[in-house]
């Protein structure tokens, strides 16, 4: 929790709710049975492992996204070159003196 996050307790169920004041999003909700005697959330080992695995996978996912973006850029240049070549060929088929969209055709 950062200093700017708001922590409130529900008066009905005593759930501790952490809210981001800028977005209004609930960042965490901790029910009374999920807190220790000091009021801090109890960390579930299984949940911790899942989160740790997710964090460990982030660099690989980021690298995959970068590679996909680079491939897309390389293909984009090729696609634009092909499109330009097709347009040039179309102009040649119409004739050198005629303009595309010329009403006198």
pLDDT at 104 over 80: no
Q: pLDDT tens digits, residue range 12-68?
A: 998 889 999 999 999 988 888 888 888 777 877 887 888 889 899 999 999 999 999
Q: What is the pLDDT of residue 103?
A: 59
pLDDT at 1 over 70: no
In SS3 terms, the chain reads as CCCCCEEEECCCCCCEEEECCCCCCEEEEECHHHECCCCCECCCHHHHHHHHHHHHHHHHHHHHHHHHHHHHHHHHHHHHHHHHHHHHHHHHHHCCCCCCCCCCC
Q: What is the pLDDT of residue 99?
A: 61
97 compared with 85, residue with greater pLDDT = 85
pLDDT at 2 over 60: no
Q: What is the pLDDT of residue 86?
A: 94
Domain boundaries, the chain: 1-42, 58-92
């Amino acid at each position: 929790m950062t200093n700017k996050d708001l922590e409130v307790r529900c008066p009905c169920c005593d759930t501790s709710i952490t809210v981001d004041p800028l977005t209004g999003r609930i960042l965490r909700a901790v029910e009374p049975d999920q807190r220790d005697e000091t009021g801090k959330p109890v960390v579930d080992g299984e949940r911790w492992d899942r989160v740790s695995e997710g964090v460990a996978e982030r660099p690989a996912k980021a690298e995959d996204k970068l590679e996909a973006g680079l491939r897309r850029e390389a293909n984009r240049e090729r696609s634009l070159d092909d499109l330009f070549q097709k347009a040039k060929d179309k102009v040649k088929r119409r004739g050198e003196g005629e303009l595309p969209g010329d009403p006198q055709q």
